[in-house]
């Protein structure tokens, strides 16, 4: 069974106030927790992903209100922690209070697959992640929590599985369906490779615009771009009896994957021609013309009302397009 809901990262400006947080371009009136939960109710969310940042200010009455609201929604809860994984202690404190059984974690700061920019720091970063997981994994098992390590435009399917391999079932994957394109992989094959370890899913989609250096990944409503969601979810349901997934249109900043540049591949393991061909073919779907304006309202300098309207429109359209995904993937 597939349960579909929301997370606020597809509404980062509306709910959380960023990008631009701490600058004059930040949203002057971010929603915060309660209007976000109202939108979850409007869109009949059966999963609610909540960042730790939205929970930090809750007092006793606030926690009671949150639990009552989640009960009304009849929704499962996923707690979301940003990078780095070393902050897991606070997540482990908050998860049981929110009723969350899964803690989603991003691992590195790399975006658009551009690990080469880190040089030797890339290997040091992975070593730090492994060390943190060695400490976090037994703690998660003791707490009855599952960790979902996200492919946050940084790690390949093989690397994610290698990270999980030394640990038990409490360390798994949060699969972002759009992000395999950021490391040159086919989303369906990526899902097949990590399927046994998937604990949670981000339903992200992209329009693709090819360039002389590679391609841009451009935010769109999930279900309107390059990602074959039915095939991806069908692969995952081969391994899981029940799966949680949340709608997440991409970031307001377009990602440029420069994989046609030789230096981009520094830090990656060798790849077969067949695997590379599959990744490139996947990025030939959902195409935007090469001369089209790819900018989001944020990048075009629009005001707060226009950016909020853009995010909300795409989230509601995502719910319309993918609301029956569990049925179509059977």
Q: With contact defined as beta carbons under 8 Å apart, do 259 and 211 qualify?
A: no
Query: What DSSP designation does 270 have?
Result: P
CB atoms within 10 A of CB 312: 14
Which string of b and e fits 112-141 if b means at least 16 CB within 10 Å?
bbbbbebeeebeebbebbeebbeebbeebb
Residue by residue, pLDDT tens for the chain (330 residues) are 999 999 999 999 999 999 877 778 999 999 999 999 999 999 999 999 999 999 998 999 999 999 999 999 999 999 999 767 778 889 999 999 999 999 999 999 999 999 999 999 999 999 999 999 999 999 999 999 999 999 999 999 999 999 999 999 999 999 999 999 999 999 999 999 999 999 999 999 999 999 999 999 999 999 999 999 999 999 999 998 899 999 999 999 999 999 999 999 999 999 999 999 999 999 999 999 999 999 999 999 999 999 999 999 999 999 999 999 988 887
Measured in residues, the chain has a length of 330
Provide the pairing of β-strand 243-247 with 215-219. Answer: unpaired
Q: With contact defined as beta carbons under 8 Å apart, do 43 and 6 qualify?
A: yes
Q: SS3 for 56?
A: coil
- Whole-angstrom Cα distance, residue 330 to residue 327? 6
For each of the domains in the chain, give its residue range(s) and CATH number, in order of start.
2-328 (3.20.20.150)
Q: CA quadruple 91, 92, 97, 100: dihedral positive or negative?
A: positive
Task: Read off the pTM.
Answer: 0.97
């Amino acid at each position: 069974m597939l349960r579909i809901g929301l997370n606020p990262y597809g509404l980062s400006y509306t709910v959380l106030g960023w990008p631009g947080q701490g600058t004059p371009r930040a949203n002057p009136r971010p929603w915060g927790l309660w209007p976000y939960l109202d939108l979850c109710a409007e869109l009949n969310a059966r999963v609610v992903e909540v960042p730790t940042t939205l929970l930090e200010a809750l007092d006793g009455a606030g926690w009671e209100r949150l639990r009552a609201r989640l009960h009304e929604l009849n929704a499962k809860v996923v707690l979301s922690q940003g990078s780095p994984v070393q902050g897991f202690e606070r997540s482990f404190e908050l998860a049981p209070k929110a009723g969350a059984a899964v803690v989603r974690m991003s691992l590195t700061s790399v975006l658009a697959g551009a690990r080469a920019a880190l040089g030797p720091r890339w290997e040091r970063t992975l070593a730090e992640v492994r060390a943190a997981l060695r400490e976090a994994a037994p703690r998660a098992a003791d707490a009855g929590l599952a960790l979902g390590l996200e492919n946050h435009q940084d790690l390949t399917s093989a690397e994610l599985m290698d990270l999980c391999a030394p640990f038990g079932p409490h360390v798994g994957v949060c699969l972002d369906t759009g992000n395999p394109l950021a490391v040159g992989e086919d989303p369906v094959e990526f899902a097949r490779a990590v399927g046994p370890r998937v604990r949670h899913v981000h339903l992200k989609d992209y329009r693709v615009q090819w360039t002389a250096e590679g391609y841009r990944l451009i935010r769109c409503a999930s279900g309107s771009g390059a990602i074959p969601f039915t095939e991806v979810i069908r692969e995952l349901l081969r391994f899981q009896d029940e799966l949680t997934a949340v709608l997440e249109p991409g970031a307001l900043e377009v990602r440029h994957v420069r994989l046609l540049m030789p230096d981009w591949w520094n830090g990656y393991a060798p790849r077969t021609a067949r695997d590379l061909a599959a990744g490139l073919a996947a990025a030939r779907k959902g195409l935007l013309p090469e001369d089209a304006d790819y900018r989001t309202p944020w990048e075009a300098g629009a005001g707060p009302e226009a950016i909020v309207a853009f995010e909300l429109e795409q989230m509601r359209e995502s719910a319309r397009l993918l609301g029956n995904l569990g049925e179509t993937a059977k």
